[in-house]
A and B are shown apart, each in its own frame.
Chain A
Amino acid sequence: MLEPFEYGFFVRGFIVAGLVGILCGLVGVYVVLRRMSYIGHGLSHAMIGGAVVSYVMAFNFYAGASIWGFLSALLINTIVRHRRAIGTDAAIGVITTAGFALGVAIISRYRTFTRNFEAALLGNLMGVAPQDVWAVTAMTLTALAIIILTYRRMLFLTFDPEVAAYYGVPTAWLDSLFALLLAGTLVVSMQLIGVTMLVGALVIPAVTARLLTDSFGRLLVLSGAIGTFNGLCGTYLSYFLDVSSGANVVLVGTVLFVLAYLWSGLRGRLGRLWGIEAH
C-alpha cells in the first residue's frame, strides 16, 4: 500500500495533487457560481499554445502559459466589446481554440516532444518536476490569502454584483484579481491534471459540495476538502491502475458526485417522509 511513496517522483506528484486539489476546489466554487466554467475550459486549452511556444523558444513555461492565458482573456473581452454581434461564448470558442490549434500545429511540426504533449493534454504524474512543487505551493498560498482577505467582498460580488458596487465593493478590481487567480490556478494545475481534464477538476468539487450544503461558507470549506480528496485519491490510484492522473482525479470526483447526488435525493425523500425540512 505504501510502496509508491518510496519513489521521489510519486511523493512529489502526491503533494502537488493535494495542493492542486485544494486550489481547484476553492477557486472552482467561484467559477461555478459566476458561471465561468466555459471560460475556464477555453482558457486551459488556449494555454497549450502558450506552453508549446515557450517550450520551443526555451522560455519559462509558467510565464509563457500565464501571459498567453491572460492575453487570450483580454482578446475575448476586446472582441465582445467592439463587435457586439458576437456573443461571449462564441468569442471564447474562437480565441481559445485558435491558441490550442497553434500549439497542436507546432507540436506536429516538431514531433520531438509528443510525450510531454500527451502529459499536458491528459495530465501525468511523471511530468511533475521539483520546481512545479514550489510553483503550486506558492500559488495555493496566494489563493488562500486572496480568498481569506477578500472573503466578504468576493462573496458580495459573486452573489449580487450590482448591489455590491453600491455598497462600495471595488468590483472591477476584484474581477481582475479573480481572472488572475483563475489563470494562475489553471497554469499550475496543467501538468498534473492536463488541459482536457482541468475544468472537471475545477468544477466537480464545487458542484458536489453544492449538493450537500446551502451555506456559502460551508460550501467553500467542503469544496476544498473534496478537491483535496479527489486529487490525492486519484493520484494514488493512478499509480496502481496505470491511468493518467488527470483522468483519475476526474473519475474519483465523478464517483463522489454521483454519491452526493443520490444522497441528496434520498435525504430529501426521507425528510418529506418524516416531515423534517431538508436544508
Chain B
Amino acid sequence: MLHPQPHPFVDEQPLIELRGATCGYGGHPAVEDVSLKIWPGEFVGILGPSGAGKTTVLRAILGGVKVYRGQVLIEGKPLGQRRMPIGYVPQLETVDWNFPITVEEVVLLGLASNKAWPWATRRERQRVYEMLERLGIAHLAQRHIRALSGGQQQRVFLARALVANPRLILLDEPTSGVDIKTRDDILHLLHQLNHQGATIMLTTHEINAVAAHLPRVVCINRTVIADGPPAQVFTPEILGRTYGARMVVIHHGGLVLVAERPHAGYEEHLVLQGEYDAGAV
C-alpha cells in the first residue's frame, strides 16, 4: 500500500540546505551544528526523542528560530529571501482549540493570506472544497475545529498546508494521536503527493510504523546522529545514541523492526533472537 521507492529528481542544487546550523531560543541553542541537504522530490523523516530538536529543525527551515551559527539556505538563497511557499502542518498540541473558527475558515487561511480582499472568491472556495473532499472531510466544512476527532483535526491542518499546492511540505508529527487507519491514509496521501513531485519532510516518534517506510531517515538528538535509508540507519548503535536507550533491531525479509529493549531478564533472550534474525537475512 505504501510506496517504498519514490523517485528523487536529482538537481544540482538542494531545495534546502543547513550548513552547520546552530539554532535555539533566547540565546540557548536547541540544536547544534546541523548539516542537512534536502533535494527536490525527496521524502525525509526526522526521528528523535522528545526534546531532541525535531520541531526546531523545521522552524529553522521556516525562519522561526534564531540561527546563531552556520547557515540555512532555501534554493541556495538565505532565509530572508525565501519566495517559495512552504506548506506547514504544526504539531497539533500548539493549536488553540477554543478559537472560534470553522474547518472551512482554517483551510482558507492557507490560501492567499496576503490578499487584501477579505472574502474568498468562488475559485478559492472551490479549491478548499476539493482539498477537503480529497481528505474525506468535506462534510465537516462548517464544523468548529474542536468538534472533530483527532484524525479529522489532523486532516484539517493538512488541508490548510496543501491547499496552495506548495512544492515543499513540512509536517510536525502528522501521525501522532491518530488511529492506524488514519495514519496509513495520511502516509498514503503524502506518498502520492511525493510521487507528483512535492518534497516532503516530516517528524515522527514512530520508528516502525512511519520511519521504516520512508526512503530516508535523519536521526536527531541535539545534532544529526545519522542520515540515510532506514536499513542503514536502524542499527542498535545509532538508535542507542539517538534515544539514549538500548534498542533491538530485527531484520526480517526486506523489513526492519525496532524494539525497545525491555527490562533486564528478558534481555539475553531478545538479544539472541535479534541476532539470530539479523543473521538469517
Query: Interface of A with B (CB < 8 Å)?
Result: 33, 148-153, 155-156, 158-160, 162-169, 210, 213-217, 219, 277, 279
Contact = CB atoms under 8 A, between A and B. Distances in A.
Interface stretch (B36-44, B100-108, B193-201, B254-262): B100-108
Given A152-B118, A215-B100, A279-B142, A160 B113 contact: no
Nearest to A209: B100
Given A152-B109, A279-B143, A166 B64 contact: yes
A277 B142 CA distance: 12
A167 B95 contact: no
Contacts of B86: 166
B148 to A, nearest CB: 12
A155 B109 contact: yes
Contacts of A148: 118
Contacts of B100: 33, 210, 213-216, 219
Interface of B: 62-64, 85-86, 88, 90, 94-96, 99-102, 105-106, 108-110, 112-116, 118, 142-144, 147
Contact of B144 (A158, A166, A279): A279
Contacts of A149: 116, 118
Given A168-B113, A169-B114, A162 B108 contact: no
B99 A33 contact: yes
B101 A159 contact: yes
A279 B86 CA distance: 32
A169 B69 CA distance: 26
A201 B93 CA distance: 33
Q: Helix, strand, loop or mixed for chain B's interface?
A: loop
A187 B90 CA distance: 38
Contacts of B109: 152, 155-156, 159-160, 164, 167
Given A148-B118, A167-B110, A277-B147, A160 B95 contact: yes
Contacts of A214: 100-102, 144, 147
A159 to B, nearest CB: 5
B101 A215 contact: yes
A167 B64 contact: no
Given A279-B144, A279-B147, A166 B105 contact: no
Nearest to A155: B109
A212 to B, nearest CB: 10
Contacts of A155: 101, 105, 109
Nearest to A220: B100
A158 B99 CA distance: 9
Given A153-B113, A153-B114, A166-B88, A217 B105 contact: yes
Contact of A166 (B62, B95, B142): B62
A160 B156 CA distance: 14
B88 A168 contact: no
Nearest to B26: A84
A162 B90 contact: yes
B112 A152 contact: yes
Nearest to A157: B113
Contacts of B63: 165-166
A169 B116 CA distance: 11
In the complex, the 10 A-B pairs of residues with the closest C-beta atoms, listed nearest first = A151-B118, A214-B144, A166-B62, A215-B102, A156-B109, A219-B100, A149-B116, A216-B101, A167-B113, A156-B113
Contacts of A279: 142-144, 147
B142 A162 contact: no
Given A163-B88, A167-B113, 16 more contacts: A33-B99, A149-B118, A152-B112, A152-B113, A155-B105, A156-B109, A164-B113, A165-B64, A166-B63, A169-B113, A210-B100, A213-B100, A214-B101, A215-B105, A217-B105, A219-B100
